[in-house]
Amino acid sequence: MQKTLEYSRRIKISPATVELLAHERNKGKSLRQLGQMFGRSHEQVRRILAEHSLSRVKLLAESTVAVKLGYSVVWLVRLRKEGIINPVKPGGHWLYSEEQVRQIPSLITGMRRCERCGALRPPRYRRFCRECSQYRREHYYRSLSPEEKAKHRERSVAWRKANPERWEDISSRARKKSWAKVKKGGY
């Protein structure tokens, strides 16, 4: 049987419950939410936590975290929306714990890697570094994965079936152009 602690005004509570209260409070729950969870008033919850003087995790607002780390808030929003980091939103504002703030730079660095070669990409480049972006522009079809090539072929065939006149016009122009190169000795 667990030992119970007794407080003023006859509040009886177990040490495990106190730990659970502190843990939930550190997650960002309000005193009212905790009171509803544990069947107590918010004032009783406040007194219990105050009597134990349990250390509270400091939560920082999203804008404060962005300024502190020197990143745009957009990066934090992307991390949050992709589910990589889970801040709390107790009163309408996203709040981050100090532990989460320490993890953010390494998470952003991981997100800023090129999908093709793994090198760090410049801020304006969304998925690939400069070299890989130029290669993809110059050799679009070659840089596609086999699945992407299959989808591309399917879309092309569907378009040809939907637009036979335009397809015939385009293919005849391409044939004329290639014959002109052959006659000039281009091939």
CATH 1.10.10 residue spans of the chain: 5-52
The structure's pTM equals: 0.44
CATH 1.10.1660 residue spans of the chain: 59-111
Please measure the distance between the N-terminal and C-terminal CA atoms of the chain and give it in whole angstroms.
91
136, amino acid identity: R
- DSSP letters for 86-119: --B-SSSS-EEEHHHHHHHHHHHHHHTB-TTT-P
Mean pLDDT, consecutive 10-residue segments, the chain of 187 residues? 50 78 77 87 85 69 90 87 82 82 87 82 79 78 83 92 93 88 71
Three-state SS at 121: coil
Count CB-CB contacts under 10 A for residue 43.
10
Given this structure, which CATH class describes domain 5-52? mainly alpha
pLDDT recorded at residue 52: 73
CATH architecture of 59-111: Orthogonal Bundle (1.10)
Strands, E, within the chain: which ranges? 5-6, 12-13, 59-61, 95-97
What separation in angstroms does the CA of 44 have from each of 12, 55, 90?
11, 18, 20
Dist CA 1 CA 32 (whole Å): 29
pLDDT recorded at residue 4: 52
- Both tokens of 116, joined, read 């093709």
